[in-house]
Amino acid sequence: MSINRLYVGTNKRSPVPMYYQIMEEIRNKIYSGDYVVGSALAPERELAELYDVSRNTVRQAITELVNEGILIRRQGIGTFVAPPKFEHVLNRLTSFTEDMAQRNMTAGSQTISFEVREPTLVESSSLNIRQSDQVIECVRLRSADGVPMALETTVLVASLCPGLGADDLSDHSSLYTILAERWNIRIDRATQSVEPTLATPYEAELLHVQPEIPMLLMRRIAFDQSGRAAEVTKSIYRGDRYKFVIELRQHA
């Protein structure tokens, strides 16, 4: 214990709360490889002794890191170092299937619901169609090597992809590939927003996470090669497994 104490970088006299400093310490130990992915964190009692704080303070630091997706708590077993989050670089328009292929992972798709209906006011205006036109709404659970990653609700202009059925979108099929191959609709441009949100009980159950963990909500309006809006998608990505990286340049 006394040797470990030499490496403790927390400072009780700092105005920064101790739980916050301990979070930073644990994060640094993970980044520097002192704590490896999958390894168990020392018990709360030991950490409390190491940092000379109460167990409550240690528990608070650990809970915050669990919420961030850096640690994983397994009920009755312990707390473990989580694998690094997927880094998704937002500088190119890709499909979920392409994203997974770039990581040498297999994209999976499970269709939860599929229906043809009239668009809402927001959808008809985003897709630039009349309210009397038809749209196809498809809810898909997307996975990476079998692990659920995102829940996507896609609304497509029905007249652009006549005959598209629920069966077309199951297993490993890519919507963008089907649109291109069957109807020559090549998704060429999109506007996309990202906001934080909390997992609803329904999303949490499908994505195998605790309810109310942070999630990333993305909305995309995608246009084809002739500039027609083809798709409006709401995607809920697991906040504990994803981080988005944006490249910035001062001059375009």
Binding footprint of ligand 16G on the chain (CB under 6 A): 95-97, 107, 152, 154, 174-177, 218, 220, 231, 233, 235
Choice between 20 and 183, CB closer to ligand 16G: 183
Note whether 41 and 26 are within 8 A (CB): yes
Choice between 42 and 180, CB closer to ligand 16G: 180
CB of 201 to ligand 16G, least distance (A): 22
Choice between 66 and 178, CB closer to ligand 16G: 178
Helix or strand run (H / E) with residue 220: strand 214-224
CB of 136 to ligand 16G, least distance (A): 12
CB of 129 to ligand 16G, least distance (A): 18
Note whether 147 and 171 are within 8 A (CB): no
Partners of residue 237 on adjacent β-strands? 150, 216
The dihedral built from the CA positions of residue 155, 158, 162 and 167, taken in this order, carries a sign that is positive
CB of 111 to ligand 16G, least distance (A): 11
Q: Which residue intervals of 103-241 are DSSP H helices?
A: 121-127, 175-183, 201-207
- Antiparallel, parallel or unpaired: β 86-89 and 242-245: parallel
Instruction: Measure the CA–CA gap between 178 and 186, rounded to whole angstroms.
Output: 10
Choice between 63 and 170, CB closer to ligand 16G: 170
CB of 139 to ligand 16G, least distance (A): 12
Tokens of 227: 């500039």
Choice between 64 and 188, CB closer to ligand 16G: 188
